[in-house]
Chain A
């Protein structure tokens, strides 16, 4: 059996994947202490696709995401973002791709404490040479998108965990990011706020972006088009889309014929 799962959702599509992990492996440590975090994983994520990655702790979920985001390099295989192999890029160029094409939402937000919410979001845009005024406009729009427009001038320390996470998500969404990577983005949020954030990611993907989200919560993974399962560093299974009406019918039949009415 191979560890290759071609996209079922868009298999017929001729579009290039936004993200392609091509037979990627990552080994940590050496000799007897070697840990195979990922073993020949092949994953393609297409424009408009929202993919969730699930698996037990230590299965390689976070490693997959850091490799996709160019924060770490594979021991074997290639990571391609919009067709460019990240390993072939100069440091400067890699930084540029990470800034312009990839939005990354960290588990612990990673906001800069000395900057306001809006400034945190503007930073990557200003590094790209966009005027402060234009960048602030974009930042305000991104904050509106996650429903915290009124917090633009607050500092991270004056915000709740949930608010900080929404700022981090706004930062990942700003500009024309084609790829959004999120590591447990709803961890600190209550269920309806988390839902709102997932709806934002969903909308972004429906508008053509690609997203990969690592989560251990099935309820959150369910917002994705495709859920892939990792175990011991391998992709072992995945779900695709299914016709909603078929399923509801099944659910209805089950409840009617199930033990409740017996």
Chain B
């Protein structure tokens, strides 16, 4: 998750101090990815090391404001201009679990699929309730909050579409499993070939 670029984007709108950055980051993403202040300062430290931000000024309360440098601004532009890489898909526990479930004997794959489907749809219901609330609030919010509300709605939509994609994939897995079982049922009685690996295993043991 790119906290680095998130913070750069916020600093691009003017100097800010750590706690302020945390609050604004969470407002835009509905605290979906909560930040602790420690993370913010660690990240600011790295950004400073890389010459992307500089300590700017301090107010009476001792808040240290950071400002984005020209190099930081260039880095931010290039972040917006470059697609998020898809070259190495993030490891997905569910995909791994199903891949294992279909190959490990004695696992009820349908039960695994249904348990996940129920869980994911519950998640969708919760996101949707939050969205319904956000949509209702959209019409009543003041102009300043507007952009933050929009940002939060987009993040919610992303969570919803991603979860939906998972459920669709589960549906698809079941269809594929059913087709596979049908094909297996159509095959003639188990041949010697399919018994061979078992026999080999036995001798090795």
Contacts and interface: CB of A to CB of B under 8 A. Distances in A.
Interface of A: 54, 56, 195, 199, 202, 216-219, 221-225, 227, 229, 236-239, 241-244, 247-248, 251-252, 255-256, 258-261
A219 B34 contact: no
Interface in B149-167: 159-161, 163-164, 167
Contacts, number: 85
Contacts of A221: 121, 124
11 contacts: A199-B132, A222-B160, A224-B125, A239-B118, A242-B122, A242-B126, A243-B126, A247-B126, A252-B32, A252-B33, A252-B34
B168 interface: yes
A251 B124 CA distance: 11
Given A218-B121, A242-B122, A56 B164 contact: no
A197 to B, nearest CB: 13
Nearest to A57: B175
Contacts of A222: 121, 124-125, 127-128, 160
A195 B117 CA distance: 21
Contacts of B117: 229
A244 B130 contact: yes
A248 B1 contact: no
Interface of B: 1, 30-34, 90-92, 114, 117-118, 120-130, 132, 135, 159-161, 163-164, 167-168, 171, 174-175
B83 to A, nearest CB: 16
Nearest to B130: A244
Interface of chain B: mostly helix, strand, loop or mixed:
helix
Closest 3 CB pairs of A and B: A222-B124, A218-B167, A222-B128
B126 A239 contact: no
Nearest to A246: B126
A202 B133 CA distance: 12
B159 A251 contact: yes
Counting chain B CB atoms within 10 Å of each CB, which of A54, A199, A239, A256 scores highest? A239
B109 to A, nearest CB: 14
A237 B129 contact: no
Contacts of B123: 247, 251
A219 B114 contact: no
B164 A219 contact: yes
B159 A239 contact: no
Nearest to B168: A218
B186 to A, nearest CB: 19
Contacts of B92: 259
Counting chain A CB atoms within 10 Å of each CB, which of B1, B121, B132, B167 scores highest? B121
A239 B125 contact: yes
B31 A218 contact: no
Contacts of B163: 218
Contacts of A241: 125
A199 B135 contact: yes
A217 B164 contact: yes
A258 B90 contact: yes
Contact of A244 (B91, B126, B174): B126
